[in-house]
Amino acid sequence: MRYRLGPTLITAPEIRARVQELAGMISLDYAGRDLLLICVLKGAAIFWADLCRTLRIPCQSDFVAMESYGAATSPLSEPRFTKPADVALADRDILIVEDIIDTGHTSARLRELLRARSPRSLATCSLLDKAERRQVATPIEYCGFVIPNAFVVGYGLDYAQQYRHLPHIAVLERIPEA
């Protein structure tokens, strides 16, 4: 199957404005607390970088790596975790920074793994929410955009490790077979 870059779904200025709004909400909610951002690699790295630079409160960061799609356009049935958090999580206020919540399997599994390490609080900030595809209920305390059921790329999201560099979110379209 072949794919091509389709229309822009969310522009770079829209993303910048929403990241500033999210950072403002998070800064108010976590003022005076021991905030630890857990960035889910690789897709959330650009969002995490912009978000943490925009926060008005001190925070620390760590990274987890997971594989949810591989080189496909539909999620794997069981997400693969390839790098756990390296820092102590007990009694910390943890905010997971995600690129997209799709079926909810990956987010729910990550929350379960982190909750087992006894954080004081655990919340999720996701740039994108593909709510209509949800199969597993998982909370998103800070949501950037709710998007339709389309495969999207850009601003960190990829297809087969391509398109992460785009400053906007675009739909990836299937090229019809001739």
Give every CB contact of residue 145 below 8 A, 6+ residues apart in sequence.
10, 14, 18, 127, 128, 129, 169
- Give the domain range for residue 95: 12-149
Residue of 50, 99, 102, 158 marked catalytic: 102
Q: Does any domain span residue 90?
A: yes
If one counts every other C-beta atom within 10 angstroms of the C-beta of residue 34, the result is: 15
pTM of the predicted protein model: 0.91
pLDDT digits (tens, 9 = 90+) for 71-87: 555 555 666 668 888 89
Residues 105, 106, 111: CA angle, nearest 5 degrees: 100
Contacts of 65 (CB under 8 A, 6+ apart): 40, 41, 42, 81, 82, 83
Answer yes or no: is 21 within a domain: yes
Instruction: Encode pLDDT of 99-145 as tens digits.
Output: 999 999 889 989 998 999 999 999 999 999 999 999 999 999 999 99
CATH number of 102's domain: 3.40.50.2020
Q: How is residue 133 annotated by DSSP?
A: G
Instruction: Tell me, yes or no, whether 7 lies in a domain.
Output: no
**Is 34 among the catalytic positions?**
no
